[in-house]
């Protein structure tokens, strides 16, 4: 049975800007139960919601299900089918450590443990300042560079555990520079 969401899913406020944008987007879709493109529209909506919220919290899934007139299970089925959707929050800086076979045999597990140690979080978690999150991935197709780490889409090959603090510091410096540019803009 669908849960009816009558308030903003995020803060209990109907003024939540992300929720308003999602609502406006859904209004433009003119969702029709008989529309054969309804599933495409659902996937587009999930992409849009993830771009707004950074992930797909359960309450947003329920709201989208309600707007599409389908069950929450239908929505979560689509989310779990496509691995680009995530139901857990991510940091601004997303660390992905490849744990495919080539990376694993070349020490990816030690690299992953070092990221966890330095950032003080486990895989799948986000730091309390929301800056970093860590995920492990299957083969990213760069086995010749094993072990491979990607951070916000940038690829690091042949990573050694002792390089991890420098890699993190580099991203923190870049992040600080971007924040300073935004403040001075
Ligand atoms: S196993 Fe890591 S890139 Fe292929």
Domain ranges of the chain: 17-81, 93-184
Residues 6 or more apart whose CB falls under 8 angstroms from that of 105 comprise: 146
Residue 178 pLDDT level (bands cut at 50, 70, 90): low
Q: Where are the beta strands (DSSP E) in the chain?
A: 93-98, 132-137, 149-151, 154-156
Beta strand 154-156 with 149-151 is antiparallel
pLDDT digits (tens, 9 = 90+) for 88-142: 888 889 999 999 999 999 999 999 999 999 999 999 899 998 889 999 988 989 9
Q: Which residues pair with 97 in a beta bridge?
A: 136, 149
Distant-in-sequence, close-in-space partners of 122: CB < 8 Å, separation ≥ 6? 116, 134
**C-beta of 137 in contact with ligand 1 (< 6 A):** no
Residue 1: pLDDT band with limits 50, 70, 90: very low
pTM for this entry: 0.66
Looking at the structure, give the CATH architecture of the domain made up of residues 93-184: 3-Layer(aba) Sandwich (3.40)
Q: What is the mean pLDDT of the chain?
A: 87
Tens-digit pLDDT profile for residues 70-82: 999 999 999 999 8
**Cα dihedral sign for 52, 75, 100, 116?**
positive
DSSP 100: S
Residue 8: predicted pLDDT: 45
CB of 101 closer than 6 angstroms to any ligand 1 atom: yes
110: exposed, middle or buried (Cβ count in 10 Å: 0-12, 13-18, 19+): middle
Q: Tell me: the pLDDT tens digits for 2-59?
A: 334 444 454 444 578 889 999 999 999 988 878 888 889 999 999 999 988 888 999 9
Residue nearest to atom 1 of ligand 1 (CA): 100
Q: Which of 168, 169, 46 is nearest to 97 (CA)?
A: 168
148 lines ligand 1 (CB under 6 A): yes
Measured in angstroms, how far is the CA atom of residue 105 from the centroid of ligand 1? 10
Q: How do beta strands 93-98 and 132-137 pair?
A: parallel
């Amino acid at each position: 049975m669908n849960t009816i969401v009558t308030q903003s899913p995020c803060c209990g406020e109907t003024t939540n800007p992300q929720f308003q944008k999602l609502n406006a987007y859904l209004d433009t879709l003119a969702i029709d139960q008989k529309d054969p493109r309804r599933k495409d529209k659902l996937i587009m909506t999930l992409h849009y919601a993830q771009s707004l919220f950074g992930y797909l919290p359960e309450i947003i899934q329920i709201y989208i299900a309600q707007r599409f007139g389908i069950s929450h299970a239908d929505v979560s089925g689509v989310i779990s089918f496509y691995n680009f959707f995530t139901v857990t929050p991510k940091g601004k800086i997303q660390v992905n450590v490849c744990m495919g076979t080539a990376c694993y045999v070349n020490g990816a597990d030690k690299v992953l443990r070092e990221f966890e140690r330095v950032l003080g979080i486990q895989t799948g978690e986000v730091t309390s300042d929301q800056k970093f999150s860590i995920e492990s991935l299957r083969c990213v197709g760069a086995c010749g560079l094993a072990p491979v780490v990607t951070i916000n889409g940038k690829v690091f090959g042949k990573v050694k555990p002792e390089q991890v603090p420098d890699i993190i510091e580099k991203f923190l410096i870049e992040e600080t520079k971007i924040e300073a540019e935004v403040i001075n803009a």
